[in-house]
């Protein structure tokens, strides 16, 4: 049994254009997250949701970024809450919301580590900036912003930058990368397991290599899991589905191996969109993966 877990809902859909992902935290709670995780912790506290409200969509005229000021403002609130949770000695688990919320999560976590590692479990690299983004959607930029690349309102959340070093990041499941993202990955020598590598090596080898790589160089590891990392036939309730993704079993194995390695110190599960889902299937998968990450056993 682990010690303390604090759950934070971040019902934000400001980082992209498709409505519904703001209901992700509610869908995950409805799928039974508290019932699933309570037996695995001595203390579990659901801290409710960061207040987002119903703000009007805005496009920043200078950068062409969608909802730039609102995304920055709400991520500052999340960063403060995550910081408080870490200071209390609890494990912070954030429920999204679109993936732009990772900017706030990492801002709240990284200040407590000298060399924070990040596992980015996602179909996308999320390494765009205003200059490279085809859409201006900030949910395609959180990893870049956390690495210190992009608009100062995003990179400066929490009052410091960068939060993470590129050599401390492992991307798993990538299969939809923009040209600017590919260039950055190559220039910075980032460790990326695309679906090609996962198909060739198998998930066991990928996770063994990931764990060994991060154990050698980090003093904590954040897991940022986008449900679109899974194949949309298994997790249909996401805003930007990409065929040919990770399977349900591969994902459970990945979580089980991370739990056995005892390296994960914070986590977020994002991009659950119940409007696009089938009978809350994707939220239920998210809850199941959390169970595996925190040590639920079949036997």
Active site positions, annotated: 99, 122, 124, 126, 139, 226, 228, 271
Give the tokens for residue 281.
């299937």
- Residue 189 burial class via C-beta count within 10 angstroms: exposed 0-12, middle 13-18, buried 19 and up: exposed
Give the tokens for residue 66.
């969608």
Give the tokens for residue 199.
């198909």
Cα–Cα distance between 84 and 44 in angstroms, integer? 15
Cα dihedral across residues 18, 125, 195, 11: positive or negative: negative
Give the tokens for residue 15.
């980082």
Q: How many CB atoms lie under 10 A from the CB of residue 207?
A: 25
| Dihedral over alpha carbons 240, 221, 37, 198 (to 10 degrees) | 50
273 Cα distance to chain centroid? 14
Cα–Cα distance between 244 and 231 in angstroms, integer? 6
CB contact at 8 A, 145 and 154: yes
């Amino acid at each position: 049994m682990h010690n303390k877990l604090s759950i934070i809902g971040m019902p934000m859909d400001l980082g992209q254009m498709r409505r519904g992902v703001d209901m992700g935290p509610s869908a995950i709670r409805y799928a039974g997250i508290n019932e699933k995780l309570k037996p695995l912790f001595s203390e579990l506290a659901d801290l409710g949701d960061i207040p987002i409200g119903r703000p009007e969509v805005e496009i920043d005229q200078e950068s062409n970024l969608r909802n730039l000021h609102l995304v920055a403002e709400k991520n500052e609130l999340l960063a403060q809450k995550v910081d408080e949770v870490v200071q209390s000695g609890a494990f912070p688990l954030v429920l999204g919301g679109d993936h732009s919320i990772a900017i706030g999560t990492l801002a709240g976590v990284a200040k407590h580590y000298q060399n924070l590692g990040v596992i980015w479990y996602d179909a996308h690299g999320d390494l765009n900036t205003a200059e490279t983004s085809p859409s201006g959607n900030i949910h395609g930029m959180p990893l870049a912003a956390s690495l210190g690349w992009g608009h100062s309102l995003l990179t400066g959340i929490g009052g410091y930058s960068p939060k993470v070093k590129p050599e401390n990041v492992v991307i798993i499941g990538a299969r939809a990368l923009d040209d600017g993202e590919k260039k950055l990955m190559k220039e910075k020598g980032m460790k990326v397991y695309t679906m090609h590598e996962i198909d060739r090596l198998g998930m066991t080898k990928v996770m063994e290599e990931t764990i060994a790589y991060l154990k050698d160089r980090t003093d904590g590891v954040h897991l940022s899991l986008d449900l679109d990392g899974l194949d949309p036939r298994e997790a249909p309730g996401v805003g930007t589905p990409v065929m040919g993704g990770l399977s349900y079993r591969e994902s459970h194995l990945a979580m089980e191996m991370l739990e056995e390695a005892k390296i994960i110190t914070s986590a977020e599960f994002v991009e659950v969109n119940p409007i696009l889902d089938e009978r809350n299937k994707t939220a239920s998968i998210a809850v199941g993966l959390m169970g595996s990450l925190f040590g639920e056993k079949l036997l």
